[in-house]
Amino acid sequence: MESLELTPPPAILLALEPLRAIADYVAGLAPLSHPLPRGDGHPVIVFPGLGVSGYATEGLRGRLGELNYEVHDWEQGVNQWPDTDFDSFLDLLSEQLKQIYSQNGRSASLIGWSLGGVYAREIAKRHPKLVRQAITLATPFADQPNSTHAGWLCTLLNGGVSPMDEALLRRLSIDPVVPCTSVYSPSDGVVGWAGCAGTESEYHRNIEVDNVSHWGMVHNPEVLRVVAHLLAEHRHGTLRALLDTCVTRLL
């Protein structure tokens, strides 16, 4: 993938985020124009974005539950940057994944919104045999802290020091060895879309959704449609075949 300039979204997009998020929320309440594929009942864990709890992803989890998935909140309350060692925090999050696997012997799909997507990818790196796929929604895993409008909040929550040093940024940009999909919007008002787009490979694919806000990403019906098709695919298919099928169905 060619090198892209990593800059924050225009100020006008940030200013319009609240109104656009409301529009995405309302759109998500409307009946879908086409039915979504039903799932096979495998477990799904949803990680919320920075500064919000599982309450913010309740609607998405409810819709996925209706599609026959065993859906779990991340169960850690409000998502702040960890106040402990990053790897220790990942150990804590991994315990939920291990427990779910021990209960039914099925690998889980991980869905992470914004900062939550960072956790989903890192957990997938640690436990690839327990993870079916990782789906990130507006997650700037290939970004720099000063090229988003959320970097200052991470710094504030980390005692005034940016937690994103160069070593961590390099680490976050490395893809897990499980199927990964980054769903992003060029009209995101909080994070720059370029920081959400990784290098396409056997394990990674980027999917662009138009006219979706950052805060409305978990409510928008087009995002739900993409996620539903990704979850419904067989885990042993190659990622390229998986996503080509998904995109074909959406056309």
Sheet (strand 131-137) strand order = 70-73, 43-47, 108-113, 131-137, 180-184, 204-208
pLDDT in the model for residue 151: 58
Query: Among all chains, which residue has been given the structure tokens 């978990």?
Result: 218
* Bridging pattern class, strands 43-47 and 70-73: parallel
Reduced DSSP (H G I as helix, E B as strand, rest coil) percent helix, strand, coil of the chain, to 5: 45, 15, 40
Q: How would you write the pLDDT of the chain (251 residues) with one tens digit per residue?
A: 444 556 778 889 889 999 999 999 999 999 888 899 999 999 999 999 988 999 999 999 999 999 999 999 999 999 988 877 899 999 999 999 999 999 989 999 999 999 999 999 999 999 999 999 999 999 998 866 556 766 555 555 555 555 567 788 889 889 999 999 999 999 999 988 888 998 999 999 999 999 999 999 999 999 999 999 999 985 444 444 444 444 444 44
Beta carbons of 175 and 126 less than 8 angstroms apart: no
Segment 102-114, tens digit of pLDDT:
998 999 999 999 9
Beta carbons of 24 and 216 less than 8 angstroms apart: yes
Exposure class string for 82-105: b at 16+ Cβ within 10 A, else e: beeeeeebbeebbebbeebbeeee
pLDDT in the model for residue 236: 42
Rounded to whole angstroms, the Cα distance separating 69 from 204 reads 23
CATH number listed for the domain at residues 11-250: 3.40.50.1820
pTM for this prediction: 0.86
Residues whose CB is less than 8 angstroms from the CB of residue 70 and which lie 6 or more positions away in sequence, other chains included: 41, 42, 43, 44, 100, 104
- All structural domains of the chain with their residue ranges: 11-250
pLDDT in the model for residue 10: 87
Reduced 3-state DSSP string for 178-211: CCEEEEECCCCCCECHHHHCCCCCCCEEEEECCC
Beta carbons of 229 and 34 less than 8 angstroms apart: no
pLDDT in the model for residue 102: 96
